Each structure stands twice: as C-alpha cells, then as structure tokens.
Amino acid sequence: MPVKTAIPFGNGHFFITFTCYKWLPLINCTDGYHLVYKWFDVLKSRGHFVTRFVIMPNNIHTTIAFSKTSKPINKIIGDGKRFIGYGLVDLIKKLNLMEVLQQLKRGVNKSDKKRGKLHEIWQDSFDWKICIDNHFTWQKKDYMHKNPCSGKWMLALLLLIIFIALQKFILPVYTNILC
C-alpha cells in the first residue's frame, strides 16, 4: 500500500482503499457502515461521484470520480477518513468497547501524540490507482464485487443460502406471472 503518496491530479476517476488500524473490524463491531454513507453524501454534495464501493468489516474499497477541485484529492480522502474515524470512536465509546479504545490509543505514535492525535483508526495513508481505462475499471469492479465473498469474511455466503432457500417460493410466483 503506498504510504503518503500524493495523487498528482486535480480530478479523475480513482480506485481508493483504506484499511482500519491493524486490520481491526472497527466498521463491523460498531455497525459504523452509515458513517461511510455519510461521507459519500458529502462527496456527492461537492460534485464528486462514488461510482462503486464495498464496505468490509475492516476496510473500504471505492471508485470515485473526482470533479475538478482546488482541494487536493489526498486532503479530501484524508478528511473523509477523519470524519469516519471520529464517528467510529464515538460508537466505540457508546458501545463501551474499552479494550478496543485502549488498543487504538496505544497505536498512536509519539509525533502524532504531540500533534494531539488520540486514536489510531486507520493504517497509514491509503492505496490509490487511477482508473485509466475500461479494462482496469472493470477489473477493480470485479475485485470489489468478489471481495465480500472471499477470504475469512465470506460475507455473501449467508445471502446465497437465503436466496437458494427462497428460490422454491420465488420461482413459481415469477413463472406464474410470465405464463
């Protein structure tokens, strides 16, 4: 993952990934998915377009088409991470997840502590790639769509089981409508 690599463009379509500190499932354990949606609303209100996304328990993958902006794209993403991070800390406190909160406090390095940082919510920086052509954009779309179905999370497996179980009820109704 590139660390502190500036996006050298004032606009464009980018694949962006950022990950919770130590890959902790902070989004999931706080049910903080709505915080990501709020950030997407802010982006939309400023003329940017979230074209695809997947919110995992411990990271976010998205493609965003940034309109021409004088504000550096890195700053826009950093503000979003901060916005979501503050919300996650509030939820962690409300849920009384003190062990998690302590781990996030211990993760702050000395120089960040001097600047007043209290919690380490995210891995350093974020990963970005410019969506330069359709092939690359579709490759990232496929990656995002398959991500919840793979690895340790298998998040879509339950939905597949429910869908298969419901097929015997859905298909006869659908067939009757067509006949």
Residues 81-120 as b/e (b if ≥16 CB within 10 A, e otherwise) read: beebbebbbebbeeeebeebbeebeebbeeeeeeeeeebb
> What pLDDT, in 10s, does the model give residues 30-48?
999 999 999 999 999 999 9
Query: DSSP letters of 78-99?
Result: HHHHHHHHHHHHHHHHHTT-HH
Residues 6 or more apart in contact with residue 103 via CB below 8 angstroms: 22, 24
> What pLDDT, in 10s, does the model give residues 123-168?
988 999 999 999 998 888 888 877 777 767 666 655 555 555 554 4
Give CATH for domain 12-178: 3.30.70.1290
- Average of per-residue pLDDT values in the chain: 85
Strand 49-55 relative to strand 59-66, pairing: antiparallel
Closest CA to 52 of 123, 124, 148: 148
Contact 128, 66 (CB under 8 A): no
Domain ranges of the chain: 12-178
The pLDDT, as a whole number, for residue 11 is 95
Contact 7, 133 (CB under 8 A): no
SS3 of residue 9 by DSSP: coil
